[in-house]
Amino acid sequence: MKKAPKGAFSKVKIRVTHYTEGLLVVLSAPSGGGKSTLVRELMRRTSRVRYSISVTTRAPRKGEKGGEDYHFITEMEFKKMKSSHRLLEHACVHGNWYGTPRDAVEKDLKRGHDVLLDIDVQGGTAVKRLYPKSVLVFIAPPSLAVLEKRLRDRAQDHESAIRRRLQNAIHEIKEAHRYDYLILNDTVKNAVDQLETILASEKLRTDRSRATIDALLQNGIVRKGDRSHHD
């Protein structure tokens, strides 16, 4: 095999780049599965992600703050958002309506931020139909016994509500095969480590790197303007 002439590529600077648009990431889990804790830890670790705050018609739980955990709205307000197509997805869960505001999500994606949606499996599959490149991650408890303990320890529900949530959990776990990835939430550290790995891997997919490939073929260099907006 012939060697390339010395210095043949010395003037060509090739920079490794990533997907320049943000990733739309759906996190779903049974009630009590620990999604909120994982989201908070991931956002503590990195500034690259944005959390989409859902709207809901249910009443705030103890410790929840409007505009931080959810946007708490009336059923009339929810219907107006739905009829004016201002919701990316919506679903009725445990008798209450939940939805994802469309405008904020699309703006963050265009700015190159990864956007996390904390929604149920019904909403997740709806998002996948609208955005085929979205990344669906299902967060599962190590066991149903652990999930039941978490529900009881948080002391937010009556016995009948806990039983209903456990039944719903079985249904949701059965739908996990529709998702791209599965994380067993045994410890927060392990689960968030795996979530970070998923996000990093998705950005290296060739179907997300057409601009980088084209730049390399055409110029032998990836210009500064073609690089990712992520820090």
Question: How far, in Å, CA of 122 to CA of 90, rounded?
Answer: 9
Contact 16, 224 (CB under 8 A): no
Q: For residue 220, what pLDDT band results from cuts at 50, 70 and 90?
A: low
Contact 148, 166 (CB under 8 A): yes
Choose the weakest-confidence range: 70-74, 145-149, 166-170, 217-221: 217-221
Domain extents for the chain? Answer: 24-52+113-226
Q: Please tell me the pTM assigned to this model.
A: 0.77
Long-range (24+ apart) CB contacts under 8 A made by 144-149 are: 144/169, 144/170, 147/30, 147/32, 147/33
What confidence tens digit (pLDDT) does each residue in 113-168 have?
A: 999 999 889 889 989 999 999 999 999 988 888 888 887 877 677 888 888 888 88
- Residues 6 or more apart whose CB falls under 8 angstroms from that of 144 comprise 166, 169, 170
CA 170 distance to own-chain centroid: 22
81, pLDDT greater than 50? yes
The structure tokens listed for 29 are 């889990």
Of the two residues 28 and 158, the one the predictor is more confident about is 28
CA-CA-CA-CA torsion sign (163, 58, 123, 201): negative
38, pLDDT greater than 80? yes
What is the 8-class DSSP label of residue 30?
-
What confidence tens digit (pLDDT) does each residue in 5-25 have?
A: 555 444 444 344 445 679 999
Distances (CA, A) of 214 to 151, 208, 228: 51, 12, 15
Question: How far, in Å, CA of 50 to CA of 117, rounded?
Answer: 9
Looking at residue 20, what is its pLDDT?
65
Of the two residues 1 and 210, the one the predictor is more confident about is 210
What confidence tens digit (pLDDT) does each residue in 159-212 have?
A: 888 888 888 888 899 999 999 999 999 999 999 999 999 999 998 888 887 777
| Cβ neighbourhood burial of 98 (10 Å; 0-12, 13-18, 19+) | buried
Q: What are phi and psi of 50, to 5 degrees?
A: -125, 140
Q: What are phi and psi of 192, to 5 degrees?
A: -70, -35
Domain topology for 24-52+113-226: Rossmann fold (3.40.50)
What is the 8-class DSSP label of residue 137?
E
